[in-house]
Structure 1
């Protein structure tokens, strides 16, 4: 099966390459904002927006007006126009909100360049990129497949990364003839219907005290810079502390992402049918008491990983409706116990069959049964 797959590596550019990367990021942002303003203005005047072709035709004139746009990768500038067009397409399809202007104050800055005529290539422990030449990178594995594009990102910590998108062949994993239901939570990150439990790594809680301490330092140095009437980019102590804080945030994110990849891969490898809840995480985050704990476990990212890995490897992920009472139903006799709505009730006994239940394990069993039922309905048409 042909799939699009991304490889992420850390880049080690020299000073000149860093300067050119930063210029390309700035130029891509400028072009995106320029055409977004034109797009909005045209829509107000005519009731219709622009399109990719009309914006693309204006690029040569824009380069004549702003000659510094010629210094950077032309494909990267073209890609920013393409991204704007795609953003509007998603907006009109009611998938996302309207595109917004990009700010240089955003934590992560990036640009994308497409592969054409061998302008992107892996050469030993370096990667060839347009205008940059050969850039050293941490080659942790081989890049297999047809190169499509590359996205260069500058993180708040000052590190540079590249994501290489390729089209490659992925073989399906052997069928295990096993199914499972996955109940995600806060106390335990995930509970499977066979009793397997994955603990909550609590990535933020591990480093929370250190993060708070460093953020307080950052706040003091910010106030000092303001008292000294120094621009923040010239305040060396502030910038050093900002990088320290950014690196802690980056470590938290990396630990969490690594854990999610390991758990999702293990579940997909061991099961053919995977039932999950269709949780409305955005709405759940409105709960002030639980928002921090919910955002820390990244349920949405976990579901995304399960879905694309299952698609790659010939497995099936079935989303269960958000109104399905997985926790309230007795997995043995089907009795619905309304008191289980309260999250504090972790263990309960069914009033009908007197079976004792662990809340999470019982929910995962019900999710598995419902997933199989939905698949059967979809295959046979039986309601």
Structure 2
């Protein structure tokens, strides 16, 4: 792709909002029924996606290659965003063009008087959720004088620490696989688009939602424990991309979500003052030796020693 084409793409993204305002009456006569903030947030997402695409082409973006922005499929989760909302009471949010929506949780206590930036409304498993992004001042982390520890990932033992602590792998997807297979078979027998098909589709989505909730709960508990009890944490990376290409290891690796664990550990240690050192991935032999060492540390010294 030539450089002039990159400039053309960038200019089109910047001017897309003006183009939309000039052609919205013809293309979408229903636009007055939707709040303008929804369109503005969509333009922002398009701008970020295009910027990532251009940086990926020029080699300025780390990670794998990023494709050209495309529309979400119809089966994707329904989501839209507002830039400004109001909180009329403890259990309610007031959205533009929609009005007051009752919430199960106390929004006033969660927001705690902080300025709100963006509110994302999404539908998952037949239920609607509101995610409110607030401006929070970054606290100064305390001086952490807690002990140092090495972290080794595994599939049987989820996390093995150098002090002998072992965290088991919850395997939420594997435990829910039987129910998920049965629900998916029942879904395949329904006529697409029928009422029973939609009901069964929500049942399948609820199983996936529960798996995600169990996995997130285990990850948050493990990352919080490490961030609060240790001052220096050495994490040994693993070859996730290589393992995901293996037909046997792909499912348990995806179920373990090691990348999400390291992401949570990074921002939680920033609050507690702990330091995280990420080390290069080990080979299979080194990983086996590290797990054996962690097993010996957990069992204690041998009687012959």
The TM-score range, normalised by the shorter chain, is 0.7 to 0.9
In the alignment, what sits opposite 2:209?
Answer: 250
Task: Give SS of 1:328's match.
Answer: helix
| Structure 2 unaligned spans of 5+ | 299-305
Alignment pair present for 1:189 and 2:158: yes
Task: Give SS of 1:216's match.
Answer: helix
Aligned mate of 1:59, from 6, 15, 20: 20
Alignment pair present for 1:158 and 2:126: yes
In structure 1, what is the Cα distance between the partners aligned to 2:130 and 2:101?
11
Shift of 1:346: 6.2
Aligned mate of 2:168, from 188, 199, 205: 199
In the alignment, what sits opposite 1:328?
Answer: 286
Aligned mate of 2:226, from 267, 272, 288: 267
Alignment pair present for 1:83 and 2:41: no
In the alignment, what sits opposite 1:285?
Answer: 244
Contact 1:63 1:70 in 2 (8 A): no
Contact 1:112 1:151 in 2 (8 A): yes
In the alignment, what sits opposite 1:142?
Answer: 110
Give the TM-score normalised by the residue count of structure 1: 0.68
Larger RCO of the pair (alpha carbons < 8 Å, separation 6+): 1
In structure 2, what is the Cα distance between the partners aligned to 1:46 and 1:246?
39
Task: Give SS of 1:190's match.
Answer: strand
Shift of 1:246: 0.9
The farther-off stretch of 276-285 and 243-252 is 276-285
Alignment CA distance shift 1:280-1:81 (3 Å): farther
In structure 2, what is the Cα distance between the partners aligned to 1:199 and 1:170?
33
> Alpha-carbon deviations, 1:270-322, whole Å to 9, x = none?
11211112334223200111111111111111111111212233322111012
In the alignment, what sits opposite 2:92?
Answer: 126
In the alignment, what sits opposite 1:372?
Answer: none
Instruction: Give matches, 1:12-91, under 5 Å.
Output: 48-51=8-11, 52-65=13-26, 66-91=28-53
Shift of 1:185: 1.0
Instruction: Give matches, 1:2-17, under 5 Å.
Output: none
Task: Give SS of 2:30's match.
Answer: helix
| Structure 1 unaligned spans of 5+ | 1-39, 226-231, 330-339, 348-356, 363-383
Task: Give SS of 1:92's match.
Answer: helix
Shift of 1:77: 0.3
Contact 2:162 2:294 in 1 (8 A): no
Give the TM-score normalised by the residue count of structure 2: 0.84
